[in-house]
Structure 1
Amino acid sequence: MCRGGGGAGVTVLAAIPTFYFRAAENKEKLLADFIFILSSTCVFAIAILMCKRIKKEAEMMAYIVIVVMNSFFSMFGFYAPVSGNDISRHGSLGSAYQDLMGGPLCVLEGLDRERFKNVRIDTSNLYFNDVRANSAIQYDINSISFYYQTINPNTNIFLHELWIPKSWEGRNVDLDSRAALMSLSGVKYDIIKAGEERYLPYGYDSLVQEKDGYVLYETEHTLPMAYMYDSFMKKEEYEKLSPVKREMALMQTAVIDEADFNLNGLVENVVEDLRFEDTVSDYIITGADGVELSENKFMVTKENAFISLKTDCIGRVERSFGFENLWYEGEKNTFVKITDGIISKKIEIKSDKDPQYVNIHKFLCNLGYSESHGNSYKIIFSSPGVYTFDSIKIYNQPLEGIKGWVEERKNAKIEYSFGEDSIHIQADTDKNGILYISVPYSIGWEAYINGEKIEILKVNGFGMGICMGEGKHVVEFQYHTPYMRLGMMLMFTGIIACSVILVYDIKEKRAASIG
């Protein structure tokens, strides 16, 4: 009991800082805190003095008290009825619904949900605070925006390989308005704020609906979420490419992580076999304000300092700024903004002192597609400090070829539907190939062709693929939570073992008391 009471007392003391933080600037809550802590201290003091008179088994009660106390201290600051609580302040009746319905997805209201059933929806120029976390799940649609536990690790790897400008592992908002990447991911619809149509990706030019300050656009040049490849490239070849070329490579061929799969009958591509049309523009730094320049280093001396760049004018391309190994030496996170005076995009650079730092330093910031890109740009640094980098490049990607590649991928007749934990596909193809599903790869998936189990490939560093011959096929993907059966077996084994030990212990004590 002494140990239990002492442990509970330590728990109370350890919880005081958090307790105070929750109740700070609220005198009534602080008074309630003080009374509760004083009462608890008295109870524990009495328990310690009486511990020699109480049966030893009562020590277990002290540990129960510890659990109860921890729960109380965790919840009191938020839910205490004294002087109002956080639920009453932030959770009035209907506010959660209004918060959800007031986001970008409100533009879907009144539309037939069947049109969104087997495609994805993305957003452009809407940052994390604009897009409600995991709201697509509540709307029962397929989206790009996910938060923490809903993100598959392969999704993060895929986005990092393409230098998507995000420095978090735990959240994703959009695909940076990159037309090729959106097509590869089955994004048929894009949401944007009314009046910001200049940020729309290439090809998203068909207005569907406008509502509450948001606009929904549609494209005809996107791939479905299931399509065919008739060739492949090994991952080591793919990794030789720039992030811009990687997007174009994925439009033309499947990228296979594992080199030992039997892919007989399929053409193996190397870099030289693929068609690339992107260019890299030279530039010069024409001015600086609050930035001292040296080789591969910017020493920023004030907030919102900037450098000015001059490059070539070019039209009918998607233009991006690529930052390779961009580091910021500072105490806090910072932002780097790129603008031509019309389009502005920003990148968050995390300091390595941030607790959520995850070693992401390659960013490709897309300034969008334009019939005529200008030649003047600014790179603005929000915070003072030292910024280092290996290279800064300006990429120009023509996009007219996307339409042809989309038609090639859609050449086979494929119909698909999604269930709770399954994907059903009917395919009719005139050649051997890889059936690709734009759903994150996981070891929990199993695939069957015409009832026969087949191995699933990890394709494009993200999705699932299976080798499929020509002809008509019925394909089923089924998902089972990994290690669920093993976990259940271990749980029941533990319950049985504990029960046996408990029964044995009771019998031993009874025998000892009789003796």
Structure 2
Amino acid sequence: MEAAKKKKDIWVSYVLLFILFSGLFLAYLSLKGRTLIHTADPFDQDYPIFLYMGKLLRKMITGQGITLYDFSVGLGENVIAPLNLYGFGDPLNVFSVFATEKSAEMIYTILLLIRLFLAGVGMLLFFGRHGHKSILCSAGALLYVFSLFSIVRGLHFYSLLSTMYLFPFLLIELEKIILQKRPYKAMAGFAALIGIQTSCSFYFLYMQTIFLLGYGLFFYFSRYKKGQGGSFFLQKIFCAGIAYLTGILMAGIVLFPTLKEFFNSSRSAGGITQGADLLFSLREMGNFAGNLLIPMIQDDNYGLGISCFSVMALVLFFMSREYERRKKLLALLMLLAYACPAFWSMTNGFSYVSDRWTYVIYFATAYLTVAVLEGCLEKKYSKKELLISALVCTASIFLHLFLNGDKIRSAVYFLLLLISLAVLIKERLQTRWIFMAVVLANIGISLMFLLAPWQLCGHDIWKSFCGKEEIGDLTAKLNGEDYADGFERQDVKGQSRGESLAAGYYGTTEYFSVLNKNTFRFWDELMISPGICAEPHHLEGLDGRAPLEALLSVSEYQNGNEILTNGNALPLGIQYANDISEEQFQTLSPLQKQKLLLERIVVEDGEKTEVSWEPTRINCEIIWNNIMTTEGGFMPSEDASIELRFDRKQIGEGKGELYVLFEDFQCLKDDFSPLVVGEHQVLIQNRESKYFTGAEDYLVHANAAEDGTVTISVPYGNEYLLNDISVWWYDYEGMTDSINALKQHTLQNLQLEGNTVKGEINAANGWLFFSIPYNSDWKVYVDSKKEQIVRANVGFMAVYLEEGMHSVRLEYRPRWFYAGALCTLLGLAFCGGLCLYGKKHEN
């Protein structure tokens, strides 16, 4: 009875305290008029995708079929692959089906809180499994749930919260597999959890796998008994491996198409890669030590920000002889991993340094805190050991003060340290409830400083969450109607980069980690520099370039701050009379390419032809305002600008577009620097940046003033290297004739039905071009006969037609999706078999 009461107390206290802390956090945000939706990626990606998933589920339920390809996902993408990293596949997101204009934000918020809550549930179960059954377990769970990682990283990117809550459950099932003689049910549980993790995001499956493998080996050898032999070890490897592969199969319907598109994405084609040092710099190591127990969220200030008790527990753990050397070795390896950027890079797929793996550190320190505090109640540590642990904390606080000048916060945490030391030394204060009160006070103070204004040495993180009106405006777009007939795109900057997903229109913005490399190639080769947002997976608009807007069926586009209606928008399918080889096309300048795309289709085996047209270079005077020029570069001061002045007589009375070309241009600080050229913004990249796309030259469509001046606003605080600036004129002469020629033979009676595009065309001999990004999963049928699709115009599709009337049908058939669906059925069947077999042996 007493054990049951203790267990009940643990769970009741956890639930009540979770409600208290999360309620206070939400209440503060509400007072500030904010939601729990972050202003950065969640507003641009996670939340619009959540709304979009609800729309797809409602379509499926009402018998409108399963959508596998959608033109509202960027220029047109496989639905699963680009959205998987943002929760497409997360089982909890099935509740998005209930998301309406009134309820969407509330449901999204509740699901965030459920993920946080489940992280604590997993932690409590892990405590119980390892013999910790005091009220302190609920305090340990709260340390994990309300850690700096979950509040700052997890709420920013909720796939991390899914990874957090799954981690302890995975460890529990893995332990059962190792310990049990017939671990069939444990294998089924482990497989189900791996399946959920894979569905949530295969990126985090990679990370989880690393830690599961490490923990599994540690757990096995820490319980190794003589006489078990190598066969027993291989048996456990086999059981865990079978369970793991079963989980992979269960998620095949999501995983396989995602992997296929990942290897066809801009990341796999020279995307984000960056080496990492073996150790952090001395300053970074100093920040690490100084922020052990004081939470800091600056990008360059690495630090855990764990509780005073947690830091003291870590020191006591290493000093005490009560703990096995193997456990100390594991803890030491984790600390070394935290100090090693190469490990951070390895957990991020050997890419740039990222702290997304550090939930493991918070899990371990929360567990260690409870274990050591329970040891304090059993008098396992001397006063000398307690004082040494307090001195380590004191050194960390003073180092923080020295590096940051943070007097208020340093004083508060020093007072908290003194209280922590007092309750550990004074016997009459050594009770579980007092220990718990100190831990809760620590959590509350840390949350307070995260929310507090900077004047009180806080971080004002409430400002990083979206306002209610902002979210309401985006959610209201759910009522937008998807196109049933016809096809047109809008090249207009929306409130959110994911707005097209919620509203259902076809846009020109792609902000997904898995982005079709053919789409990026088009932007890159045409040098649509303002549209490449300093990342190979972030494209935003066609820079208001009339020829490209026409080619890609854009009916409305944004030129600076002006929204223009495009009367020259071409249909989805147009036929060219002439072609040009891809090899010759790549030798041309971007503006030559731009003009030629309205005259000839670019295909691999196209003909070679003479290209005589060239844009006109404009003579201009360069004025440097508040800028110090250096050899090969310049340094701006405040209110800096560059003026390009030219005589408008050079461009005559004809219509056209003005362009500014920056050659061999880079910024030397930060990942990128925003320049405003006329009314168009371009991000100048740092070649040392983890996101560097390879851009060295930048071409920007500029709007000149009446006096013939282009003003370039340059932000203060950066340094630049620049070889040359030039101004070019792109004349519209002949453009209307080229567009009218392309309108002669177009795909008519267009129908978009699920994953199929249908139409009819009265064709001449020539290539029928589709402004659909090239993907080998598209199949084309001309008069019901399958024909070959080729990559055309850098990144799109075409099929050759002979003269006559033809019916054309495009079908999107993702083979990896169908193979994945079959594997999912097999995985579910095998997992169910493990459950039944385990139950039989149990009985």
* TM-score clears 0.5: yes
Q: Pick from 627, 634, 639: which aligns with 1:290?
A: 627
Distance in 2, matches of 1:392 and 1:271, equals 30
Counterpart of 1:423 (choices 751, 757, 764) is 757
How far apart in 2 are the matches of 1:359 and 1:6?
54
Deviation, 1:422, is: 1.0
> How far is 1:145 from its partner?
2.6
1:359 equivalenced with 2:728 (yes/no): no
Paired residue type of 1:148: F
Pairs within 5 Å for 1:253-268: 253-256=600-603, 258-259=604-605, 268=606
Match of residue 608, structure 2, among 270, 274, 281: 270
TM-score (normalised: structure 2):
0.44
Separation in structure 2 between the aligned mates of residue 141 and residue 480 of structure 1, nearest angstrom: 23
Q: In the alignment, which residue of structure 1 is the partner of 2:805? A: 472
Matched, 1:411 2:744: yes
1:396 is aligned to 729
After TM superposition, list the pairs within 5 Å mapping 1:6-405 onto structure 2.
Answer: 16-19=147-150, 21=152, 96-99=471-474, 117-123=486-492, 126=493, 131-148=495-512, 151-164=515-528, 165=530, 166=532, 167-190=534-557, 196-197=561-562, 217-256=564-603, 258-259=604-605, 268-272=606-610, 274=611, 276=613, 278-294=615-631, 297-313=632-648, 314-315=651-652, 316=654, 317-339=656-678, 344-352=679-687, 354-368=689-703, 374-405=707-738
Higher RCO (C-alpha under 8 Å, 6+ residues apart): 2
1: distance between equivalents of 2:131 and 2:519?
A: 47
- How far did residue 147 of structure 1 move? 2.6
Q: In the alignment, residue 487 of structure 1 is paired with which amino acid? A: G
Structure 1, residues 175-214: CA drift from partner, whole Å, max 9, x if none?
1110101011111223579xx54xxxxxxxxxxxxxxxxx
CA distance in 2, matches of 1:499, 1:171: 41
Deviations, residues 406-445 of structure 1 (Å, cap 9, x unaligned): 111111153022222111010112x211111111111221
Q: How far 1:390 moved relative to its partner?
A: 4.7
Amino acid at match of 1:188: S
The match for 2:206 is none
Deviation for aligned residue 1:475:
0.8
Output the CA distance in 2 between the equivalents of 1:95 and 1:289: 37
Provide the C-alpha distance between the structure 2 equivalents of 1:421 and 1:386, rounded to a whole number of angstroms.
49
Give the distance between the partners of 1:469 and 1:156, measured in 2 at CA. Answer: 31
Please report how far the alpha carbon of residue 16 of structure 1 lies from its aligned counterpart in structure 2 after TM superposition: 3.1
1:252 partner SS: coil
> Taking structure 1 as reference, are residues 190 and 218 closer, same or farther at Cα in structure 2, changes over 3 Å only?
same
Q: Secondary structure at the match of 1:251?
A: coil
Partner of 1:53: none
The letter of the residue matching 1:322 is: L
Report how far residue 121 of structure 1 moved. Answer: 1.6
Q: Which residue of 2 aligns with 1:201?
A: none
Matching residue of 1:450: 783
The structure in which a higher percent of residues are helix is 2
Quote the Cα distance in structure 1 between the aligned partners of 2:586 and 2:739: 23
Report the structure, 1 or 2, having the larger strand content: 1
Greater alpha carbon shift after TM alignment, 397-406 vs 139-148: 139-148
Distance 1:14 1:134 in 2: 29
Which residue of structure 1 aligns with residue 768 of structure 2? 435
Unaligned runs of 5+ residues in structure 1 are: 50-72, 78-84, 198-215, 260-267, 511-515
- How big is each residue's C-alpha offset from its partner over 1:103-150, in whole Å with a ceiling of 9 and x where there is no partner? xx99xx9xx987994111222xx5xxx532222232222221333268
Query: What is the aligned-residue RMSD (CA, Å)?
Result: 4.6
Q: For the Cα contact (< 8 Å) 1:414–1:425, is it kept in 2? A: yes
Instruction: Indicate conservation of the 8 Å contact 2:491/2:556, yes or no.
Output: yes
Deviations 1:341-375 (A, max 9, x none): xxx3331123345544433333211014x7x9644
The answer for unaligned runs of 5 or more in structure 2 is 1-125, 156-294, 297-304, 311-362, 377-442, 448-460
CA deviation vs aligned residue, 1:372-394 (integer Å, no higher than 9, x gap):
96444444421344322454332
Query: Residue by residue, what CA displacement relative to the aligned partner does 1:452-490 show, whole Å, maximum 9, x if unpaired?
Result: 111111111122111111101111101123411222333
Paired letter, 2:698: F
State whether residues 768 and 798 of structure 2, in contact with CA within 8 Å, keep that contact through their aligned partners in structure 1.
yes
Post-superposition Cα deviations, 1:304-331, rounded to whole Å, max 9, x if no partner, equal 4334444442243311012233211113
Q: 1:190 & 1:298 partners in 2: Cα distance?
A: 34
SS in 2 for 1:290: strand
Aligned-partner residue type, residue 551 of structure 2: L
Distance 1:240 1:21, change over 3 A: closer
Measured in 1, the distance between the counterparts of 2:728 and 2:542 equals 17
Q: Cα–Cα, structure 1 residues 6 and 509, in superposed 2: closer, same or farther, change >3 Å? A: closer
Please report how far the alpha carbon of residue 500 of structure 1 lies from its aligned counterpart in structure 2 after TM superposition. 6.2
* Superposition TM-score, scaled by structure 1 size: 0.68
Matched pairs, number: 423
